[in-house]
Structure 1
Amino acid sequence: MGTETLMIGLSVAVLVSYWFSHLGRVLRFPSVVFLLIAGLVLREVSDARDATVLLPPGLLPVLGTIGLILIVLEGGLDLNLKPGRRKFLLATFGAATMGVLLTTAVLAAAFHYGLKLDWPLATLMAVPFGVISSAVAIPSSEVLVDEDREYVIYESSWSDIIGVMLFNAVLLAVATGGRGATINFFAGGLTVLVMGALIGLAVFWLVGHLEGHVKFLPLIFALILVYAGAKALHLSPLLIVLILGLMLNNPHLFLRFKVFERLHSPDYRSELDKLKHLTAEATFFVRTFFFLLLGYSTDMSTLADGRTWLVASVIVAAIFLLRWPVMKLLSLGRGVRPLLWAAPRGLITVLLFYSLPAGMVPEAFPPGALILVVLLSCVIMAFGFRADAGRKTAPVDDEIVRRVDARAAPPH
């Protein structure tokens, strides 16, 4: 492939993705579905012309991991933690935890009895499908009212983190026969909490005090370096990323202590806005090529198999049926819908599934089921949001009531 052809292809991909994002907002449909379909069509066209390009084996996992880091960071930078939000935080954390554990348990049983897998492997394969994809849920939640969108951002971010921690713990249990898995899960969580707080303080100072035209891109790649290092130690680095984003956007949480006041800079807020814009642009770029290449790397013939549709349909049905009681219990009185539909699978599911050791995915599991689960769950979410996005719901908590009243009050 010539240099000019590659440059044209990259440029067209970004411009088309930008158009997809606008089209998605108009149609209330996830833009990632358009990207996946575009990738599938591109693969069919290239196959027909004998011009198929084989992707490097590690390209999708690397792109997806960078995209996941940026998406969780972007979500954290959008979240405001204020007094009186404890009930809301516990509810979203509880919903994410129950959702991951319940879906994993039911799908593990389905894989054990339906595909004849032993319990450890069945559980390990079920975890990726138990995790809500924040890469899809957060952008798609733009069609919801502010309070519902906030719930989706928190829950999907928690779900990513809990899912990765659970996946690492189960993978360690499978590799070691169960020795040390529980200790790794809880000790690893405590370790990343401490690391996240220390890194958050350091980056808070750097954002306000670094000089020069180039300063935020090195910060992002330093965060990627920390993520990779923590991942190599079998920790849960997404928690570090979320803590960093929350600390940067909510410095009042630690500036109340005088010892940290010297870290603050008068230019901090303006510099933070620049970091938010760069993160949003980089997230868009990486997400574009991950989902486009994911579609391109999929053989359409695998989606035509009846067994693929059966397995994918069972997984998707379990996802939404099990989400109903979770939302009924932990939606804070807002009602089950439209939050019921905010359970897409996407980037995190693909990444965890690709993280399974070579040879561990059994032949009984259809290769096309993974992308079909992503497509079906995204389509169901889109039509669910389209039907229920305007539904009136009860307020999430007293803090949201106060914010709504403040916006409605006439100016003095």
Structure 2
Amino acid sequence: MSSYSILIGLSLAVILSYVFNLASRATRVPSVLLLLLTGIGLRQWADYQNINFLVPKTLLEIFGIIGLIMIVLEGALDLRLSRDKVPLVRRSFLAAAVMLMGQAAAIGTLLHLWLGAPWQTCLLNAVPLVVISSAIAIPSVANLSGEKQEFIVYESTFSDILGIMLFNFVDQEDFAQGHSLVTFGRGVVLIIVVAVLSTLVLGFLLARLREHVKFFLLFSFLILIYSLAKKLHLSSLLLVLAFGLAVNNADLLLNWVRRRTGWQGISTEALAPDLHQLKSITAESAFLIRTFFFLLFGYSITLANLISWQLLGQGVLIVAVLTGIRYLYLRFVAHTDLIPELFIAPKGLITVLLFYSIPTQHLLGDVSESILFVVILLTSLLMMVGLIISHQRPTAAIEF
């Protein structure tokens, strides 16, 4: 294909994604689902035209990593910290942690009983299937109001972070031994220290740089620190969350510093225009990267592999177990509304990234990209149902 043909295709992809966003607001059908189906359709067209183009796994991973960073940063930049938000943050953190552990144990047990593989291998393959994708959840709840939206943003972000931490913990060679907890705890402390230091550096750059081109320099530093931390097997997504929260709540942090130190170094008024631009560029970048990632992931799926009653049954069973555990927690532990919270636990970008991170010796042939796609598809459909019901009954909580 010529260069102009490629440019036409890329431009049409962005325009189509924007149209999908508009359609999603009107129909409550997740735009991500439409992008995935479009990618599958493009693959069928390419096969029919005998166009032999395979999506490199590395390219998909790069888009996924950058997309995850941008989407979590976009969500964090919309969150305001205050004393009255502490119960909400605590509730969303507990929901993410308890359901992540419970669902991972349940799906790991299913895989162990089904395949007879070692427990560590089954648990490692289960974690990608239970982590909530903030890449799908955060954009999908933009039209929800107040606390419901904030709960889902916090929960999905915590689920991403805790899911990566759990994955790294299970991936240790000494996973079943006692001192693995010491190694894991040391990593948690280290990532908190790195998060604080990197947030200070990035915040200083944001406040002091006066060049016209500075936001992508900031993103480059953020991606660099994220990647270096990831190389050390640290939960580097915490860096992104900490930076976004610190920037959006800079007035609170600076006022706290001034009261205790008298330091007057940075004016919050001077940061306001930069914060507005940062939010805008982050949202645009997240939209662009998300578009290409889900189109490419859909394109990488072979439709013939999905036409299987056994595969569909396995996907339905996994989603049913995940939804059942989520219902039990929300209904009997958290005592919270079920609509739309019960249905908004989509799998997506983080699921694919974690699956691609599974070491070769722990891969299970029966857990493939096809299973991932079915689970992503079913959880996206459930989310659509939840958003439609929530739109029809915005203040009602459904009791079962």
Q: Partner residue of 1:403? A: none
Quick one: distance in 2 between partners of 1:165 and 1:204? 25
Do the aligned partners of 2:226 and 2:237 also contact (CA within 8 Å) in 1? Answer: yes
Q: Partner residue of 2:296? A: 293
Quick one: distance in 2 between partners of 1:330 and 1:220? 39
Classify 1:180/1:11 alpha carbon distance in 2 versus 1 (closer, same or farther; 3 Å).
Answer: farther
Any idea what the Cα deviations from partners look like across 1:165-207, whole Å, max 9, x if unmatched? 0001111146x76475322322222211121122222222222
Quick one: distance in 2 between partners of 1:212 and 1:202? 17
Quick one: distance in 2 between partners of 1:351 and 1:261? 43
Q: Partner residue of 1:70? A: 70
Q: Partner residue of 2:59? A: 59
Do the aligned partners of 2:344 and 2:382 also contact (CA within 8 Å) in 1? Answer: no
Q: Partner residue of 2:271? A: 268
Do the aligned partners of 1:28 and 1:143 also contact (CA within 8 Å) in 2? Answer: no
Q: Partner residue of 2:316? A: 313
Deviation at 1:104, TM superposition (A): 0.1
Q: Partner residue of 1:182? A: 181
For 1:177-326, list aligned pairs within 5 A: 178=177, 180-255=179-254, 256-258=256-258, 259=261, 261-264=264-267, 266-326=269-329
Do the aligned partners of 2:251 and 2:268 also contact (CA within 8 Å) in 1? Answer: no
Q: Which 10-residue stretch deviates more, 305-314 or 257-266?
A: 257-266
Look up the equivalent residue of 1:337 and give its one-letter code.
Answer: I
Q: Partner residue of 1:398? A: none
Do the aligned partners of 2:20 and 2:31 also contact (CA within 8 Å) in 1? Answer: yes
Classify 1:329/1:271 alpha carbon distance in 2 versus 1 (closer, same or farther; 3 Å).
Answer: farther
Q: Which 10-residue stretch deviates more, 16-25 or 188-197?
A: 188-197
Q: TM-score, normalised by structure 2?
A: 0.94
Do the aligned partners of 1:312 and 1:369 also contact (CA within 8 Å) in 2? Answer: yes
Quick one: distance in 2 between partners of 1:366 and 1:307? 13
Q: Partner residue of 1:368? A: 370
Alignment partner of 1:69: what SS? Answer: helix
Any idea what the Cα deviations from partners look like across 1:217-246, whole Å, max 9, x if unmatched? 010011000000000001000011101111
Look up the equivalent residue of 1:205 and give its one-letter code.
Answer: F
For 1:10-21, list aligned pairs within 5 A: 10-21=10-21
Do the aligned partners of 1:111 and 1:117 also contact (CA within 8 Å) in 2? Answer: yes
Q: Partner residue of 1:24? A: 24
Q: Partner residue of 1:134? A: 134
Do the aligned partners of 2:39 and 2:296 also contact (CA within 8 Å) in 1? Answer: yes
Quick one: distance in 1 between partners of 2:273 and 2:369? 47
Q: Partner residue of 2:389? A: 387
Any idea what the Cα deviations from partners look like across 1:39-80, whole Å, max 9, x if unmatched? 000000110111131222300111100100111111111100
Classify 1:219/1:108 alpha carbon distance in 2 versus 1 (closer, same or farther; 3 Å).
Answer: same
Deviation at 1:363, TM superposition (A): 2.1
Quick one: distance in 1 between partners of 2:312 and 2:37? 17
Classify 1:330/1:280 alpha carbon distance in 2 versus 1 (closer, same or farther; 3 Å).
Answer: farther
- How many percent identity over aligned positions? 38
For 1:30-109, list aligned pairs within 5 A: 30-109=30-109
Do the aligned partners of 2:107 and 2:126 also contact (CA within 8 Å) in 1? Answer: yes
Do the aligned partners of 1:77 and 1:249 also contact (CA within 8 Å) in 2? Answer: yes
Quick one: distance in 2 between partners of 1:171 and 1:359? 11
Look up the equivalent residue of 1:188 and give its one-letter code.
Answer: G
Look up the equivalent residue of 1:233 and give its one-letter code.
Answer: L
Look up the equivalent residue of 2:282 and give its one-letter code.
Answer: T
Quick one: distance in 1 between partners of 2:51 and 2:353? 27
Look up the equivalent residue of 1:204 and give its one-letter code.
Answer: G
Classify 1:240/1:95 alpha carbon distance in 2 versus 1 (closer, same or farther; 3 Å).
Answer: same
Alignment partner of 2:360: what SS? Answer: coil
Do the aligned partners of 1:338 and 1:391 also contact (CA within 8 Å) in 2? Answer: no
Q: Partner residue of 1:353? A: 355
Do the aligned partners of 2:330 and 2:336 also contact (CA within 8 Å) in 1? Answer: no
Q: TM-score, normalised by structure 1?
A: 0.91
Classify 1:261/1:106 alpha carbon distance in 2 versus 1 (closer, same or farther; 3 Å).
Answer: farther
Look up the equivalent residue of 1:217 and give its one-letter code.
Answer: F
Deviation at 1:393, TM superposition (A): 5.1
Quick one: distance in 1 between partners of 2:340 and 2:394? 7
Look up the equivalent residue of 1:172 and give its one-letter code.
Answer: Q
Quick one: distance in 2 between partners of 1:69 and 1:262? 29
Gaps of 5+ in 1: 395-412
Q: Which 10-residue stretch deviates more, 186-195 or 256-265?
A: 256-265
Quick one: distance in 2 between partners of 1:282 and 1:147? 26
